[in-house]
Structure 1
C-alpha cells in the first residue's frame, strides 16, 4: 500500500508541473506610444523559462563539445495575428539573455553572450557555453530571463494591428521549462490624432474673391491619425448655424449647410455639414505600415453662397467636430477645430472710362432759360461689404477756366441717383446722395446731373468757353 500511495503522489506532482508549463507563454505588451511615435521598445527583464535543477551546460563527446541552448520557431518565420491574416516578420522582435537565476552565466574559456537576435525556423543560440566541461562555466538555478526589443525602424516599416501576434517556440534543454511556449506580442486598440489644429483662421481681404466663378476652397491643413484599428472619419458642425458678428459688432447667423467638407485628394467624400455626425470616409482607413494615416480636410463654399452668405465684413465662426471612429464603433478619437473666417471691410467705386466726362452745352435761349439734365447710365459701379452711405463733392467751390478759378459757383450743378429724390448741390463739402446702402457687389448706378434753370440763367453773359470742375464720390460706413 505504501508503494502505491507514493506512486499516486508522483503522478499528481507530474500533472501539476505540466499545468505550470502550459501557462508559461511569454506575453509582451507593446505600448501605443512606441508604436505611434516610432520609438524603440525595450522590455523589462522577462521570464521565459525556469531552471529548477541543473547548474551546468550539456557537453557531448566526452565533455569536449558544448551543447548550446537554442530557440527554434515551429510556426514559421512570422508572427501571426490571432484574428486576421496580418503578420509581422520574425525580425520585428529581438531578444537577448538577461540572467539565469539572477545573474549572467559564466563565459569561462571561449564562452560568450550573443547580441540581440530574432527568432528563426532554424535553431538560434541564445548562449555560447565554454568550449569544454573542463573549463567550468555553470549557471544558477531559477528564472531564465530575457530582454526583448522592437527597434524603431520596425515600427516605421510594419503595420501593428490591435490584437495578439504569436510565434510557437521550442527550446532544446529538457530541464528548462517549459520546453515549448508561445511568444505573444500584445498590440492595444488605439486611435490618436497626431496633429492638433484647434483653431483655423481664414482671411478674405479682396472683393475679387467674390468675383471668381469657381468654388472657394478653405484648406484646414494636414491631418495625421495614428491607429492600430481600421477607422472611418465622421464629422459634424457643433451647431446648425454659423455665428456672425459684423464689423460694427452686430450679431447674425448663417446656415452651416452652405459649407461642405471634403479633402484634397480622394480620402473623403464631399458633403454639406450638419449638426449630426456623418461618415465622410470615401473608404475605410485601414491599418498601414507605420500605423499612420494622413489626409488634408478642406471646406468648400460655392461662388453663389460665398456672395450671399459670406460677403458682409465681419467674423464668421463655427466649430468643426472630427471623430476618427473604429469600424466596430468600440473606440474613437475626437478633435475639434474652431473655424474663423474673417472678412475685412472693403469698398470700391469704379467709373468706366466712357463715363468720365459729362458735358453740358449751352447753345440756345431755351437751354439758358430752362436748364439741362443728363442721366449717365451705369456711370458708377459700386461695391461695399458694409452698410454705407454715398457722398459726392467737388475739389473746388468754383468752376475753372483753363486751370484758373472763375466766379461760377459749383452749386449750380446738382447730382443725384436715378430712382432717388435727392439732388445735392455740388460743393467742397461732401453731400449725401445715397442713404442706408446695404452690402453690395458690383452694383451699377445711373447718375443724374442737373443744372437747373436758376443755375443756367447765372451763366448768361459768361464768356463763350469751356468751364470744368472735378467730381468725387466716396463712402462712409454706417
Structure 2
C-alpha cells in the first residue's frame, strides 16, 4: 500500500507540473489605443519563468565562467497565427529582463543587463553575468519577470490583424521553468473611426454652378477608420427627405434619392441614398500596414436635379449614418455626418448686345397717327433663385437730343412683357412690369415697347433728328 501511494503521488505531481508549464505561456494583450494611435506599448513586469531552487548561474565545463541565460525561437523569425497565414516579424516585440525574485541579479565585475532585444532563431542572451567565477554573483529565487515593448514605428509599419500571434521559445536553464513556452501577442478585434466628424458645409455663391452640364460633385472631408479586422462600409440617410428652409423662412423638402454617395476613386460604389443601410464598399476594407483605412466620400447630384431641386435660395440639410461593419458582422462602429448646402440669394439680368438698342422711326403719317409697337425677343435674360418682381425705369424724365434735355416726356414710351397686360409709362420712378416671378435660371423675356397714338402725335412738329433715353431693369425679391 505504501508503494502504491507513492506511485499515485508521483503521477499527481507530473500532471500538476505539466499544467503549470502550459499556464506559463506568455500572453501579451496589445491595447487597441496603442495600435490605432501608433504609440509605443510597454507592458507591466510580466512573469516569463519561475526559479524555485537555485541562486547561482551554471558554469562552463571547467567551472571558470558562468553560462549566460538565453532565449531561442524554435518556430522561426515570425509570430504566426495558427489558423491563417498572417504573421508579424520578430522585430515587432522587444523584451528585457526586469527582475529575478524581485531584484536585478548582481552584475559583479563586467556583468551587464542587455538592452531591449527581439527573439531570434539564434540564442539571445537576456543577462550577461560576470566573466569570472570570482565576480559572477547570484540572484534571488522567485519569478523571473521581463518587460515587453512594441515601438511606435512597428505599429506604423506592420498590419496588426485581430487574433493570437505566437512564437515558440526555448531557454537554456533546466532549473528555470518552463523550459519551453510560447510568447503570444493578443490583438483585439476592433473598428474605430479616427475621423471625429464628417460634417460638411457647402456654399453656392454663383449662378454658374447651375450652368454646369456634368454631374455636380459635393466633396466631403477625408475619412479615416482604424481597424484590426476587415470591414465593409454601410451608409444610409437618416430620413427619406432633405429638409429645406428658403431664404424667406418657408420650409420644404426634397427627396434624398436625388443624391448619390460614392468616393473619389474606386473605393466605394456609387448608389442613390435611401433611409435603409446599403453596403457601399466596392471591396472589403482590409487590414493594412498602420491599421488605418482612408477614403474620400463624395456626394453626386445630376446637373438636372441640381438645377431643379437645389436652385432656390435657402438651406438644404440632411444627415448621413455610416456604419463600418466587420465582414462577419460581429462588430461595428457608427459615425454620423451632417451635410448642409447653403444657396445664397443670386440674381442676374443680362441684355444681349443684339438687343441693346430699340429704334422707332417716324417716317409716315400713319406712324404718327396710329403710334408704333415692337417686341424684342429674349431681350432680357433673367436668373433669380428667389421669388421676384422686375422693374423698369429711365435715367431722366425727358428724352435727350445730342446729350441735351428736350421737352419730349419719357412717358410717351410704354414698356411691358409680351403676353402680359401690364404696360407702364417710362419714368425715373421704378415701375413693376413682371409680378410674382418664381425662381428661374436664364429665362428669356420678350419685351414689348409701345409709343401709343397720343404719344406719337405729340411728336408732330418736332425737329427731324434722333432722340434717346436710357432704360434700366432691376429685380426686387419678394
Equivalent in the alignment of 1:207 = 207
- Larger deviation: 454-463 or 36-45? 454-463
Residue of structure 2 in register with 1:443 after alignment: 443
CA distance in 2, matches of 1:444, 1:360: 22
2:58 maps to 1:58 = yes
The match for 2:296 is: 296
**Alpha-carbon offset, residue 54 of structure 1:** 0.6
Q: Partner of 2:134: helix, strand, or coil?
A: helix
Partners of 2:395 and 2:51 in 1: CA distance: 106
Deviations 1:168-217 (A, max 9, x none): 11111111111111100000111111122342100111001111111111
Q: In structure 2, the residue corresponding to 1:368 is in which secondary structure?
A: helix
Give the Cα separation in 2 of the matches to 1:415 and 1:83: 86
Aligned to 1:272: 272
Matched, 1:393 2:393: yes
Measured after TM superposition, the shift of residue 13 of structure 1 is 2.3
Distance 1:6 1:62 in 2: 38
**Mean alpha-carbon deviation: is it higher for 190-199 or for 353-362?**
190-199
CA distance in 2, matches of 1:448, 1:386: 24
Task: Name the counterpart of 1:373.
Answer: 373
The answer for the alignment partner of 1:35 in structure 2 is 35
Which piece of structure 1 moves more, 341-350 or 133-142? 133-142
What SS does structure 1 have at the residue aligned with 2:450? strand
**SS where residue 435 of structure 2 aligns?**
strand
1:176 maps onto 2:176 in alignment: yes
Find the aligned partners of 1:17 and 1:134 in 2 and give their Cα distance. 35
Contact kept in structure 2, 1:83 and 1:163, CA below 8 Å: no
How many residues are paired up?
478
User: Relative to structure 2, which stretch is displaced further, 352-361 or 14-23?
Assistant: 14-23
- 2:375–2:449 contact (8 Å) kept in structure 1: yes
- Deviation track 1:424-466 (CA, whole Å, cap 9, x = no partner) reads 1111111111111000011111110000011111111211111
Whether contact under 8 Å (1:82, 1:163) holds in the other structure is: no
Preserved CA contact (<8 Å) 2:195 2:224: yes
Task: Give the 5 Å matches for 1:186-197.
Answer: 186-197=186-197
Q: Which residue of structure 2 aligns with residue 150 of structure 1?
A: 150
Q: CA RMSD in A?
A: 1.1
Look up the SS of the partner of 1:348 in the other structure. Answer: strand
For structure 2, the 5+ residue unaligned runs are none
Task: Report the TM-score when normalising by structure 1.
Answer: 0.98
2:122 aligns with 122
Partner residue in 1 for 2:20: 20
Matched, 1:404 2:394: no
In 2, the alpha carbon distance for the partners of 1:30 and 1:332 equals 20
Partner of 1:430: 430
The corresponding residue for 1:285 is 285
SS, match of residue 243 in structure 2: strand
Q: What is residue 344 of structure 1 aligned with on the other side? A: 344
- CA-to-aligned-CA distance 1:128-184 (integer Å, 9 cap, x gap): 122233324110000000000001111011000011100111111111111111100
